[in-house]
Chains A and B, each alone.
Chain A
Amino acid sequence: MSKAGAWTRWRAGWLFPALVGLLGVAILLSLGLGAVKVSPARIAALLFDPGAASGSEATILWQLRLPRTLLAAVVGAALAVSGAGFQGLFRNPLADPFVIGASSGAAFGAAVAVLLGFDVAVRGLSPVPVAAFAGAIGAVSLVYALAGLGQTASAGTLLLAGSALGTMLSAMVSFLMISGEQPWLHILNWMLGGFSGRSWLHCRIALPPLLLAMAGLWLLARPLDVLVGGDDAAQSLGLPIRHARLAIVAVASLATAVSVSVAGVIGFVGLIAPHIARLLLGGGHRRLIPASALLGAILMVCADALARSVLAPVEVPVGIITALLGGPFFLFVLRTRGPRFT
């Protein structure tokens, strides 16, 4: 722990408050932007003065934007943290939250639910997210079992099994969508992801497991650090590799599955937020994970605000914005800072 360590510590000292501040600004922006624009002063009045809270502005703010923004922030954070976890676990910079089949599993679950006609909302909650969650967890468990992780298999086997099962499941989703023309729009919309129409109910259901999963992965920061050094090194340090892997996969997959079921498949955030965090703060997961969470939240909140406002009153699927917004920025960072994945 030499000069570099001190440098990172010093940087972390101002970076975390700066990221929190940025997230605050992003949330304020998100609350103000959309088909109806609300000024910051008015937002404050509507949020803190119950007397002012009536009319369509208040409804839009309280019942639509606030839950939606909150959900976007937490889902963005969870995807980023899960991405950081998988990248560390697989020592692979291309890993993202969907790398071992969570997204295709969720899509399959959702497609089956829609095709069987289980897509009618009951009290504002549709069975589709539940099916998606089951699909995601099912796919990941299957991949884990198939890879025979406890025995001989390396992280590489897990990755390959995930990719194979993912391809199979996508083919099945495509088949289902073609054989039944009717509901493809619903399925496709769901797969593209977004926060339109998300309510406090979704927040109440999704936030606790997401926050728990993020905390869990943060607690696994130390094993992650060790695993990044390679299996042999980890073994020589006495880490129970098998248990550590299982714990990381379980927690990261929980975060992914809940995110996907509540917001659909939103790409890119889970891939690039951890990379940006790594470039800013280095590879230590104790800092990497909270920094990824903040960056993921900022990115997702901004993307959702733009999705609502660029073409208002038309709404753009948020995944398009995350890719359009995150892609160039990520390439710029890569170009100026160079790849530093360790």
Chain B
Amino acid sequence: MRAGCHRPVPVGSESEYAGLPAPNNFIARMKAVASGARLPGAVFRFLSPGSLLIRFLLCWMAVACPFARAAAPATGDGPPFTFSDRLGRTITLSATPQRVVSLAPSNTELAFAVGAGERLVGVTTYCNHPAAAVDLPKIGGFAARTISIEAIVALKPDLVLAGDRNQRAVVDALERAGVTVAAVQPRGWTEIQETMRLLGRIFGTTETADRLIGSANARLQAVAARIGTVPPAQRVRVYWEVFDEPLMSAGPRSLIGEAVTLAGGVNIFADLKEEYPQVSVEAVIARDPQVIIGPASMRQRSMSLEALRARPGWALIAAVRDGRVVILPDEPVTRAGPRFAEGVELVAKALYPALFPDAGEETSP
């Protein structure tokens, strides 16, 4: 399996674009199986060899590789220093980087948050937050296949902050081109804090990073304190719809799953191992969620109370019956960045409006 990690292919990958959260291993795997299993069928023909499905297979191999060590906590203060990134690579920085390129929206947000925003010279087309990131030069999309190595090299960066394993091919290519790359994109809240600390150290803004982490944890504790007053039996059952076709939810191992748990919700798909499982309609109806949450980017598609009511069988679900369908802004919850605590607050407000009266009204669909 390790070998798959080093395949120099343009790993076009899962959900690595704005609306959707990170890799969906299951679907990738299934697509890979499908590509191998259909012999003379239509899909084989119209997705020519070497095109998408094949790429999914390779991508899955990349995803299946054991996740490398977390970025090691650095000791000492500021460069020169050595650390290991999320792909297990060892990186030595001799001086504080002055020209930085970010290959993920979450990296961009984190860099700005620790006070290194003015050192960014290139970002992805999906880096839309904070506002200052929007006008920076673009090096391509978030998906590895849309990132331009040439554009990055032309910016003469002294550090590239890469995304996750799906960008492995880009990382390798940049390394060959002599560019210093560190894969720092976090996945859960623990990793977000690690990355903040690491970036603080890299840019010599350790104090800012520590302050950020402190205030975010304080906000999370404040939420936990209010949620603590709700007895376990009265916790709200939540269905989070990541996507409608295919019907896709978020498992407990995803950032969304983590946010739901921290906000005191009971994820109806807490038993699933996949981060973003494709679920069956029947299961949603049978598990009868009391609140349905969808990201704002889905609003244009089908996330509204009346749209849900029109889906066959959905009118029976408690959340639809009681009109508790909530649209939340995507990024604070789906993007592993500095706004995570804000995202957890939003979810908590959606689940327990009575506990958060100061928080303004529940966003109604």
Contacts of B316 in A (CB 8 A): 56, 59
Give Cα A20–Cα B43 distance, bound, in whole angstroms: 30
- The majority secondary structure among interface residues of chain B is loop
Give Cα A122–Cα B19 distance, bound, in whole angstroms: 22
Contact size range, B = 35 or more
CB of A211 to closest CB in B, whole Å: 22
Contacts of A67 in B (CB 8 A): 312
A188 with B52: CB separation less than 8 A: yes
Q: A169-B46, A197-B312, A267-B44 are in contact. Are A59 and B285 (CB under 8 A)?
A: yes
A192 with B245: CB separation less than 8 A: no
Give Cα A26–Cα B93 distance, bound, in whole angstroms: 64
- Select which of B44, B52, B280 is within 8 A of A315 by beta carbon: B280
Decide if B269 is an interface residue (CB 8 Å cutoff).
Answer: yes
Give Cα A188–Cα B146 distance, bound, in whole angstroms: 18
Decide if B286 is an interface residue (CB 8 Å cutoff).
Answer: yes
Decide if A52 is an interface residue (CB 8 Å cutoff).
Answer: no
CB of A273 to closest CB in B, whole Å: 13
Give Cα A308–Cα B245 distance, bound, in whole angstroms: 15
**A-contact 0/1 string along B33-48, CB 8 Å cutoff:** 1100111111111111
A170 with B34: CB separation less than 8 A: no
- Select which of B34, B52, B307 is within 8 A of A323 by beta carbon: B34
B45 with A98: CB separation less than 8 A: yes
Contacts of A200 in B (CB 8 A): 312
Decide if B122 is an interface residue (CB 8 Å cutoff).
Answer: no
Decide if A291 is an interface residue (CB 8 Å cutoff).
Answer: no
Contacts of A323 in B (CB 8 A): 34, 37-39, 41
Q: Which partner residue on chain B sits nearest A103 by CB separation?
A: B42
B288 with A56: CB separation less than 8 A: yes
CB of B39 to closest CB in A, whole Å: 7
Decide if A324 is an interface residue (CB 8 Å cutoff).
Answer: yes
Give Cα A188–Cα B269 distance, bound, in whole angstroms: 24
B37 with A327: CB separation less than 8 A: yes
Q: A36-B282, A96-B40 are in contact. Are A174 and B47 (CB under 8 A)?
A: yes
Contact size range, A = 35 or more
A317 with B45: CB separation less than 8 A: no
Contacts of B187 in A (CB 8 A): none
Q: Which partner residue on chain B sits nearest A194 by CB separation?
A: B246
CB of B29 to closest CB in A, whole Å: 10
Q: Which partner residue on chain B sits nearest A269 by CB separation?
A: B41
Chain B binder among A2-10, A177-185, A232-240: A177-185
- Select which of A181, A190, A192, A315 is within 8 A of B34 by beta carbon: A192
Decide if A271 is an interface residue (CB 8 Å cutoff).
Answer: yes
Q: A56-B286, A98-B41, A199-B312 are in contact. Are A64 and B46 (CB under 8 A)?
A: no
Decide if A191 is an interface residue (CB 8 Å cutoff).
Answer: yes
Decide if A63 is an interface residue (CB 8 Å cutoff).
Answer: yes
B279 with A314: CB separation less than 8 A: yes
- New contact pairs (17) apart from A185-B20, A316-B278, CB-CB < 8 Å: A64-B282, A64-B313, A67-B312, A96-B40, A96-B42, A107-B46, A121-B310, A166-B46, A167-B48, A178-B145, A181-B143, A192-B34, A267-B42, A271-B41, A315-B247, A320-B34, A323-B39
A residues contacting B by CB (< 8 A) are 34-36, 56, 59-60, 63-65, 67, 94, 96-98, 103-104, 107, 117, 119-121, 123-124, 163, 166-167, 169-171, 173-174, 177-178, 181-182, 185-186, 188-192, 194, 196-197, 199-200, 265, 267-268, 271, 308, 312-317, 319-320, 323-324, 327
B residues contacting A by CB (< 8 A) are 12, 15-20, 26, 30-31, 33-34, 37-48, 51-52, 141-143, 145-146, 243, 245-247, 269, 272, 274, 277-283, 285-288, 300-302, 307, 310-313, 316
Q: 21 A-B contacts, Cβ less than 8 Å apart?
A: A35-B283, A104-B45, A123-B310, A124-B311, A166-B46, A169-B46, A170-B46, A177-B52, A186-B245, A196-B280, A267-B42, A308-B282, A312-B282, A312-B283, A313-B280, A315-B246, A317-B34, A317-B278, A320-B37, A323-B34, A327-B39
The 10 closest A-B pairs by CB, nearest first: A267-B41, A313-B283, A98-B42, A170-B46, A35-B283, A103-B42, A199-B312, A63-B313, A323-B37, A35-B282
